[in-house]
Amino acid sequence: MATLPETLTEDGTSRTVETPSGTVRYNAAGPAGAPVVVMLHGSGPGATGWSNFKSQMLHLADRYRVIAPDMPGWGASVPATYEERNHPRTVIELLDALGIEQVALVGNSMGGATSLKVAADNPERVTHLVTLGAGAPGSKLFLPGGGPSEGYKLLLAAYRDASPERMQKFVDVFCFDTKFRSPELAKERSDRALAYPEHLANFVAGIGKPRRGTASEDEIASIQASTLIIHGRDDRVVVFENGVKLLSLIPNSTLVAFNQCGHWAQVEKAAQFNRLLDVHLEDLLAH
């Protein structure tokens, strides 16, 4: 692996671009002209492209152009109400604004749902797809009553109260391994969330409203992109059977399950996940 420049930091890779959805802040690294990988973060309070995927950006940036946006309503991007948020549309607007024709999409949780919708609606733009802890539509056998999971309830509570103490409860459920449930991580997420109170208020105002910008079963079944589905066996936010259902729906897909892993496989199993990315994306380098 090539030596990476010292500017490969959160501040050193930070950029902004104007889109029809408003200002989008993103982190970008890697050589111009290289295959593009876009990484989409989850919906947790304090989530950003960099905080979710910095390990993967550092790992891939010597071979790929890696872009990790803060989606509208998160991080340093434009605030967005429930009614204004349309993340699949924003992804296409971002690609158009940056002059990018085709990408590999990597999405965690909400970002995985966005990636599935983008790949279904824009097959000519998405060559490869990777989801981590992404949900699948329809009823769930192992989620009694079809209500919100334990982890999602704590996510909602952390939006209502983003203090370090409340965020610690959220982090404790998202991670299986206790070494990742640190007070430092909880404080970092709390600080990022509290820095943008309008994002918190907008999200809370949308709680209980129907999910938007997600793909139907038929749409997911139409996806032709080479797809890698990653799921933690011990995910208490989006239960493991979602990964199995996505495998059953997407024709050209592979499911990898990590035992003793929660909702943040890219954090808890970073080394293993990065190796899987290398294999899944390697044919992009041949073109």
Residue numbers annotated as active site: 263
Q: How far is CA 17 from CA 88, 133, 246, in A?
A: 17, 28, 33
Cα radius of gyration rounded to whole Å, the chain: 17
Instruction: Give the integer Cα–Cα distance in Å for 134 and 115.
Output: 9
> In this structure, are residues 116 and 129 in contact, taking their beta carbons and an 8 Å threshold?
yes
CA gap 48, 26 in Å, rounded = 9
Tell me if 39 sits within 8 A of 56, measured CB to CB: yes
Q: What are the tokens at 10?
A: 């959160």
Of 186, 180, 227, nearest to 55 by C-alpha is: 180
DSSP secondary structure code for residue 211 in this structure: P
At 129, the amino acid letter reads L
Q: Strands 103-108 and 126-132, how do they pair?
A: parallel
- Identity of the amino acid at 102: Q
256 phi, psi to nearest 5 deg: -120, 125
